[in-house]
Each structure stands twice: as C-alpha cells, then as structure tokens.
Structure 1
Amino acid sequence: MNSLLAEIRHNRMLWLLVFVPITFIAKQLNHEAHTLLFILSVLAIVPLAALLSHATESVAAKTGDAAGGLLNATLGNLTELVIALTALRAGEYMLVKASIAGVIVTNTLFMLGMCFLLGGLKHHVQEFNRLSARTQAGLLFLATIALMLPSAIAGVDAIDTVAQAGYIRELSLGLAVVLIAAYALGMLFSLKTHRDLFASAAHGEEDGEAPLPIGVALATLAGVTVLVALTSEVFVESVQQAAEDFGMSQAFVGFIVVALVGGAAEMASAFSGARKNRLDLSVGIALGSASQIALFVAPVMVLLSYFIGPAPMDLQFWPGAVLMMFVATLAAAFITVGGRSAWFVGVLLLMVYLVFAMTLYLLPPKVA
C-alpha cells in the first residue's frame, strides 16, 4: 500500500483522483446537473485510466514477456471497453460506434503523430521495428475492410430495407467472429511463434518507474476497474445533455472526447517513450491499441449486444467514420513502412487528425 501511495504522490496526473469521490457526491446531490457531471466524470476517468495502466504494467512485469504482453494487450483498452459496455447497456449505439472509430483514428493519427513530433524534436531521426509496425498496420487494414462491408451493403438500393437490416446483422455477427479469430492469431504470431522478430532495438533510455508489488497491483486492478465502471455510468448518463450544452454531437463526443480521455494514460506512456528514444514502445502502444479496438473490442460489443443491449448492434458505421478509419489506416501503413521518423512526419499525421475533428464537429452524422 505504501508503494501505491508513493506512486500517487509522485505522479501529478494521479492527483486528479480527488475528482472520483467528488463525482459521486455531485451525482447524489444533483443528478440533473448533466454538464457538471460530464466534466467531473471526464476528470475522474483520466487518473483512473492512468492508475489502471500502471497496475497492468506492474502485473505484466511479474508474469514474463509472453504472458505480460498478452495481459497488456488484453487490458490496455479496459477503460474504453468499460465505457463502451456502459453505453451499450444504455442503448447508446452511436456513442459506442463513435468511440470505436474514434480510438482507431486517434491512436493512428493523433497518438502516433505526437510521438513522432515529440521524439523528433529531441532526436534528429528515430528508428523503430518495421515488422512490428507493418504487422499491426496489416491487422488494422483487415479490420477496416471488415468494418466497411456492412456500410457498403447499406448503400445498395436494390435490397429491400427490412431484408437489408437482417443481412447487416448477420454479416456483422459473422465478421465479429472472424475479427476475434484474426486478433487471436495475431497475438499467437507476435507473442509466441515469431516473438524474436518483434524485439525492440537496443537503444533509448530505460524507464526508471518501479512496478507495484504483485498483490497491490492485483488489488488496484480490481478496485480501479470497479471505479471506472461506476464513473463511466455517470459519464454515459450525462453525455447527451452535456454534448448539447457544449454544441457537440454524440458522435463527436465518442469520436474525440472518449478516445482522448480513455487513452490518456496510454498516450502519456507513448509520449514519454518517444522522448526517451524508445520509439518501438511508442509505435507498439499506438498501433497495438488501435488494432485491439478494431479486432477485439468492436466485435465483442456486437456479440454482447445480443445479451445486454436493448437490441443487437451491427457494425454499420456512418460513411464519414468509415472513410476516416480507412484513411487513418492507410496513413499508418505508409508512414511506418520505412521504420524511421522525424518531427515533420508527426506534424503531417496531426494535421490529418485536425481536419477530421473539424469536419466531424461542423458536420455531425445524422444517423447511427
């Protein structure tokens, strides 16, 4: 416990944990103050995500490379997964889909772009493992193609509307199974059969952050997961009214806000790694997190919607989201093919992300 308290004292992001009880108290005092509850829940989720990330890394450090890599990949997007599950149970399918698309685009453009920019400003040219980046980009490309197909069927006028809805649901269910299988095989390839090909280059500064003891880490993992779930309920309940007050659509909130808030801890780790010339770590976090959302979280949401949602959810995204995911995937594939980066490469990725954010804010989708 002392190690956990020491971590909270030394990590300024974790000082925001004070907003966790404040959020619950505010909800009890005035559950109709949606805008205030939205702001407080965002401020509470950020440090919870950071603490969750640190606990996951501490457990992974005790379990060995393969098991640790599997644990990091499985729990790396737990914050986004809990938020999506809460929205799914509430029937907020636009928020679920927007958050899925948003994390994919945010990680491949914003997170990766900021890593290249921050690392490039300190180091003239940086190198990273091309095979690892190409594998993740390939998985992302597969997922993007799969997510495009339901939207393509929806655009066929020759199919009856009722029959079309049935086709899309059946196709989404089949695609969910295929994507989860691809995710499992990708994990087997990178963590087991060809693990030696994914080794990081021996350069960069070592991270001096000490892991938590295994018992404390497991207890922290369980406790923080519960707090994230409770805080996410407040977030989802308040997001619709708060979005209207701020002049934002639900799609913009899911695409931008949820992606940035849920990935805050991962971004901090990726940015720190880039500054320390550990770009393999940064690229792995950015592309690995994006591919996990596309190949695991999205299909899991489809499968779980049959059990906890008010109706089955499909993988039909609005056309703008499909285009943005496809462009982001292609950009990641082209940018990482050479295994080298500089600060201007990061600027280009950030500019593309800014264009997407401005377009979504000014022209929100009319349908889910």
Structure 2
Amino acid sequence: RAAAAAAWLCLGYPLLALAHALLCFAAWLLVFFIPVAKMSARTARRVLLLPPERVRVRRLRMTEVPLEAEVILCCYRAVNAYYYKYTVDGINVFAVNLLPLVVVTLVLGYVDERNRLTSSPVKFTLALLSIMPLSYYIGMAIASISAQSNFAVGAVVNATFGSITELTFYITALIKGARESNKCYEEIVKAALTGTLVGCVLLVPGLCMVIGGIRHQEQRFNSRSAGVSSALLFLSVGGVFAPTLFSKVYGKLVCGECHNVTQNPLGRYLCHSCHFDLMHSNGTLYYSHVQPLVYTVSLLLPTAYLIGLFFTLKTHSHIYDIHISDCHMPGHHHSAVVHWSRWRALLILLLSTLCMSACADLATEHISPILTNSTISQYFIGVTVLAMVPELPEIVNGIQFALQNNLSLSIEIGNCIAVQVCMLQIPILVLFTIFYPTNFTLVFSDLHVYASMFSVVLMNYIFMDGKCDYFQGTVLVMVYCILLAVYFFAPSPSGC
C-alpha cells in the first residue's frame, strides 16, 4: 500500500495536479467561472491527496449527508454572472487578472527594443491596456489614503495623484514631440484632452442614465450638487478656451494657397489651408499678449479648483446627498474605499505610478507607426483610444452606482474628471513648458472648442430638473456618437 501511494504521488498526482492547475488558471481568467477555479484548486490541494476508498462523489441534499461523513467539496453552481463584482482583498478581480499584462508589457517593451518578438502596434496596444489596471490601483490607493487623512492631506493627495494617469502619458508625448520637432504629438495631446472632457461630460453620464434607467424607470439626483459641478465646468471650459478665442479675434489669418475666382485683381479669392498664425509672422502678438494670458489662466484655474474643493468638502458639504466616505471630491476617483493601511496604500500608489510612467513611455515610443500609417484621422485616435481607455475603470464604477440607483455619484464621476482635465491637467502641461520647452500652446482647433462648449451646455440643460431617465441618457450618448463621427471624418491636424 505504501508503494502504491508513493507511485501515485510521484506519477499520477503531478499530472492531475497540473491539469487542475491549468483549469483553475483558465477559469479564473474567465472570471464568471471562478467557482470552477475554486473547485479545481481545492481538488488539487485536498481531494487528490486522500485515499481513493475514502472519497465518494454523490449528488445528495444537505439532510442526506451521513453523520460520520465529511463534506470536503461542494459546488452549487459552476457559472455565475455576478462574479464580475468578485474582489480579492478588496481589489476587483479584473484588476487582479490584468496585473500579469503589466509585467508582460514592461518586459516586452524594454527587453525587445528592436521589435524582434512583437511589432510596435502590439506594444502600443499592450501599454495602453496596462494603463487600465494601474489607473484602478492608483484610484483605490488615493481613496484609501484620503479616507484615513484629514481634509488638507486628502486634498493634496487627490490633487497630486488624481491626474497622474493622464499626465504621465501627455508629458512623455510632449517631450517626445519636442525632441523630434514633431507637432503631431502636441495635436494628439490636445485631442486626448478634448476627448476626455467630451467623453466624461456626455458618454459617462449618458451610459449611466441608460443602463440605470433600464432597471429604474426614473432616477433622481441632487440638482444642487450637479449645479456646483456645472458651474465649475463652465468656469474651467471658459478659462481653457479663452486664449483660443483671443487668438481668433486678434490673430492674423494665413492661407496656404489662394486662387482668383473672378480674374479681377480686386475680385474674390478662393483660399485653402487657412489658419490663425500666432508664432511665425505674428510672433509679437503671441509673446506679448497670448502667452501672458495663458499663464494667467493656468494660475487662476487651479486656484478655482482649490476653492471648489474647500467649498464641497468643508463649508458646504451638507448640500451633497453622498456620504463623505464615498469621497465626493471635484476630480476625485470615486472607487470603493479599500481599507488598506496608510503605508500600504502609499507603497501601492508609488509602485503604480512608476509602472504607469513606464507604460506611458512605451505607449509614446510606439505610437509613431500608428500615426504615420493609419488611414484614420489622428483626431479620432486621440479623442477615443487615448482619451477614454484610461477612464474605463471609472466608467464601470459609474455604471455600478447607477444600477444601485445612486445616480448622483455616477454623474459626479464624469463631471469631476472633466473638471480635473481643465483645472489641473491643462495648467500643469502649460506650466511644465516653463521648465522643459515642449512648445505646448494653449490654442485649440475650432472643432475642439465647439465640441467642448456644446457638450457642457447640453449637459447643463439635461441636469436642470434633478431627474432623468433612459431617454435623456440616450440623447447624451447619441450626441457623443455624432461628435465621434465628426472627428472620424475630419482631416488629420497639420503636421501629422
């Protein structure tokens, strides 16, 4: 008997344990089959090590289990759709499963520098997907630190790390564009900023209204808190686009090619490739008037953000129907608070930030072939892929809150990210040019200006009465799709 047990442990058990381990790994990655993964793991650890004569496989009810027997494995259901909510130590299972992707991305990116194993588009896609779990971990760490800190520390941590996901990509892209003297990177960054603003104002609340409206016929939210966010959005959008409007009024119109239509020297001319020039032939206007305006706006907007933060968290927190533990902050990541220790959350925050910087560096390093060889407008790539992929964890959180009939928090998620784009991210990019000449100018194309202003006005109109349904959400989503179609058919920006 001892010889048979030894033979089983040496020859039979390793093969079956390996088979169960592979099945467990595959089922865990599929998330909805986590019960199968647990069953396979317990089978390998416990059942396969028992003597065969002591194991019985039966289909019994709880009342039919013999008193002398022991239930060592019981599975009620092999698949469950609600396992997308499953957490490991408070961390969503999707974020756990995507961690190996981050390791694979970093290894391929920095070991295979000559693209012998994979191509640049594959590395760019992997780097962009790796940003998603890292963004989730950063948001969770910020929520945990803020929940255990006073107002001042929570505000500083939120303002410092709340936008680190996007800023790492934007800054590395601007640096690469400055080194290569390629204006395309600057235009891509502006398109991504606009795409984040438009997506968080239209797509995020629109999806939450539609999905939440399927379960709840009419959803109500705090119109007072939504009004505060709308006021901040109007202020931030007006400040960000003030230099652009100023340049349209006082800039010099320069056209690439003009043809006389009437054959009369004083007749009409048909001109192509016209734009307002501020730097080359009209540099005095930019350096004397536009640039000081840009720096003034970049200092005023963060000040307004801090005032809004103080207003919502300190002096007028009573106007919000969201509990403060849910971290209602302008621009804060509203993830569920993980009860990590402060030092553990800080360590996760720093490690995630370092990995985020590395992934952003890889994404900007391998985006060049995509921009060069793609037949799709670079505007469309910026406002969709580069803008919304890092925000996917926040979109999922907003949908979950909407399903729980907490639409106020769902709306605040999109509004707060949009406010942070205008009041923190753009001013930081502008002020960064003082220390490193990236040639980033706060002058946007007409398409960006019109799309952003129209989105904010429409959102404010929808949120006026404090209640909504799936139809209003459908309107927001349809308008967002129309704007995407405009960007898709728009010609690529000059320099790309």
* TM-score, normalised via structure 2 length: 0.67
- How far did 1:291 drift? 0.7
Q: Deviations over 1:260-284 (max 9, x none)?
A: 1111121121111111111121111
Q: Distance in 1 between matches of 2:203 and 2:487?
A: 15
1:162/1:209 CA distance change after superposition, 3 Å? closer
Q: Distance in 1 between matches of 2:430 and 2:482?
A: 29
Q: 2:102 aligns with which of 3, 20, 30?
A: 20
Match of 2:88 in 1: 6
Q: Distance in 1 between matches of 2:302 and 2:230?
A: 16
Q: Distance in 2 between matches of 1:146 and 1:297?
A: 13
Q: 1:99 aligns with which of 167, 177, 192?
A: 192
- How far did 1:30 drift? 4.0
1:123-142 map, 5 Å:
123-142=216-235
1:177 aligns with 2:305: no
Q: Distance in 1 between matches of 2:390 and 2:303?
A: 25
1:273/1:309 CA distance change after superposition, 3 Å? farther
1:319/1:58 CA distance change after superposition, 3 Å? same
1:61-210 map, 5 Å:
61-63=147-149, 68=154, 71-72=157-158, 74-91=160-177, 92-156=185-249, 159=252, 161-166=282-287, 167-200=289-322, 210=338
Match of 2:331 in 1: none
Conserved? CA contact 1:129–1:200, under 8 Å:
no
Identity %: 26
1:343/1:305 CA distance change after superposition, 3 Å? same
Conserved? CA contact 1:51–1:224, under 8 Å:
yes
1:55/1:208 CA distance change after superposition, 3 Å? closer
Match of 1:281 in 2: 409
Match of 1:52 in 2: 138
User: For 1:315, what is the secondary structure of its paired residue?
Assistant: coil
1:276/1:158 CA distance change after superposition, 3 Å? closer
Conserved? CA contact 2:223–2:465, under 8 Å:
yes
- How far did 1:71 drift? 4.1
Q: Distance in 2 between matches of 1:56 and 1:9?
A: 14
Match of 2:364 in 1: 236
Pairs aligned (count): 360
Larger Rg: 2
- The unaligned stretches of length 5 or more in structure 2 are 1-86, 178-184, 253-280, 325-334
Conserved? CA contact 1:101–1:325, under 8 Å:
yes
- How far did 1:67 drift? 5.2
User: For 1:338, what is the secondary structure of its paired residue?
Assistant: coil
Match of 2:430 in 1: 302
- Farther off after superposition, 175-184 or 85-94: 85-94
- The unaligned stretches of length 5 or more in structure 1 are none
1:348/1:355 CA distance change after superposition, 3 Å? same
Query: CA RMSD for the aligned pairs?
Result: 2.5
Letter in 2 for 1:347: T
Match of 2:472 in 1: 345
Q: Distance in 2 between matches of 1:277 and 1:134?
A: 19
Q: Deviations over 1:319-359 (max 9, x none)?
A: 10011110111111111111111111111111111111111
1:304/1:193 CA distance change after superposition, 3 Å? same
1:367 aligns with 2:494: yes
Q: Distance in 1 between matches of 2:432 and 2:228?
A: 28
1:68/1:283 CA distance change after superposition, 3 Å? farther
Match of 2:332 in 1: none
1:136/1:297 CA distance change after superposition, 3 Å? same
User: For 1:63, what is the secondary structure of its paired residue?
Assistant: coil
Q: Distance in 2 between matches of 1:112 and 1:351?
A: 12
1:265 aligns with 2:393: yes
Q: Distance in 2 between matches of 1:269 and 1:69?
A: 21
Conserved? CA contact 1:201–1:280, under 8 Å:
no
* TM-score, normalised via structure 1 length: 0.89
1:65/1:338 CA distance change after superposition, 3 Å? farther
Q: Distance in 2 between matches of 1:197 and 1:93?
A: 40
Q: 1:29 aligns with which of 112, 125, 128?
A: 112
- How far did 1:258 drift? 1.8
